[in-house]
Amino acid sequence: MRHSCFFTAISIALFGISGCKMADTGPVAFNPATNVSPTFLTFDLENTDRAPDNLEHTRFWDFYQGLEPTGNNATDEDRETANEIRAHIDKFIRATRTPDGKNYEKVRNPLDLINQVIAFNEIDNFREGRRYISQRIAAGQAGNYSNRANGALIRFTDQNAVLNDASLNDKLWVYPTLDWRYLPKGPEDSDLDEKVYRTVQYVSRSVATEEAEAQPELISLLAGSRFDANSFVTSGYNIPEFATADYLSRNYGSIELRQEFIRDKIDTLFIKSADKPVLDLSRHGITLSDTSPDCLRVELDYVGSVLRVFHSNEQPAKIKDPASEDPDATIKNPAYCGNQVDSEAAISWTAKGAFWRQ
């Protein structure tokens, strides 16, 4: 896939593993992360008088409305498929749709909430963390804010959910990882100097078997963003260059959204749900041996205003390289949905897109 070093860098920032090898970044000062345990009136996010554009900063805002079929060639089949894509996303971000069904007016999920909390500077330690990263940028020295590294707890409580005796994971959200990492020098053989990486991880709390069905669908999420250090700010929202978010549910598999805000300007949604059908491709004349393929890729090209859907089943991302004598050598499998080229899309339509992403 595109920009694989960026997505590998998220793992590096979180776990310190190798992949796209990071260069020596010099001395690192102290890590200011401490325990954070605020209580909010509610975890619900919607536009308010205080923040009339609140929802515009949620992770799926552009993609959710931008995939809408448009123009004279838009068909009922396309609209039905667009609705199925949104319905599947709803399960992970707990979206409440607008009356026309083409956007949402409320969401409730850990990623959008912590993004808003950070942007609004509501938490002293998060504010201190961003100031610290900004100071390291000014000094040209690597820096890291990480609650995981310090053993610090991030725990959000929903007051209304507590008063209503909601399920454990509806009233308590715990984040094992909030990590900002400034790297003056990026991976070797790359142009990724002067970048800030941020990682957010949420994991639901374990409950007794008899309480499992009462819990929200979301089990965990892992999200990463890359920012230009030279435009990094300590208040409001930092605009990412790239972002990824992987959501895992109890009953509906997982989804992963990859967003590119520079160069290609493409959002790609991977749907991994081998057990339950998500999209009815038969309405587009597509016959499948399995109505629930294990890989669906929905790609929204903002520059071209085109939505494409790709699918594959039981196809690995990589296969043995037939041209190599090395038994361990591999190449990308062109049949895998993530590797298929634009002309191989099973479905495509002219999409509404978003003018600010063009």
At 226-255, the pLDDT tens digits run 999 999 999 999 999 999 999 999 999 999
Residues facing 298 on adjacent strands: 269, 309
Sheet containing 172-175: give its strands across: 39-40, 154-158, 172-175
What does the pLDDT read at residue 26?
42
Would the pLDDT of 189 be above 80? no
Would the pLDDT of 283 be above 60? yes
**Mean pLDDT (the chain, rounded):** 91
Residue 199 — φ and ψ, nearest 5°?
-120, 135
What does the pLDDT read at residue 248?
97
Would the pLDDT of 8 be above 80? no
Q: How far is 83 from 89, CA to CA, in rounded Å?
A: 10
What does the pLDDT read at residue 276?
86
Mean pLDDT of 95-123: 97
Q: How far is 352 from 300, CA to CA, in rounded Å?
A: 10
Question: How confident is residue 166, by pLDDT bands cut at 50, 70 and 90?
Answer: very high
Of the candidates 259, 351, 346, 271, the one whose C-alpha atom is nearest the C-alpha of residue 309 is 346
**N-term to C-term CA, the chain:** 21
Would the pLDDT of 165 be above 50? yes
Q: How far is CA 94 from its chain centroid?
A: 15
What does the pLDDT read at residue 190?
79
At how many degrees (to 10) do helices 124-139 and 110-119 cross?
70
Question: How confident is residue 286, by pLDDT bands cut at 50, 70 and 90?
Answer: very high
Q: How far is 329 from 270, CA to CA, in rounded Å?
A: 26
Of the candidates 180, 158, 277, the one whose C-alpha atom is nearest the C-alpha of residue 232 is 180
Q: How far is 51 from 46, CA to CA, in rounded Å?
A: 9
Q: How far is 92 from 84, CA to CA, in rounded Å?
A: 13
Would the pLDDT of 277 be above 70? yes
CB distance 313 to 346 below 8 Å: no
What does the pLDDT read at residue 212?
95
CB distance 67 to 82 below 8 Å: yes
Of the candidates 342, 339, 321, the one whose C-alpha atom is nearest the C-alpha of residue 330 is 321
What does the pLDDT read at residue 25?
41
Residue 248 tokens, joined: 């895992």
* Neighbour count for residue 242 (Cβ, 10 Å): 23
What does the pLDDT read at residue 9?
53
Mean pLDDT of 213-233: 97
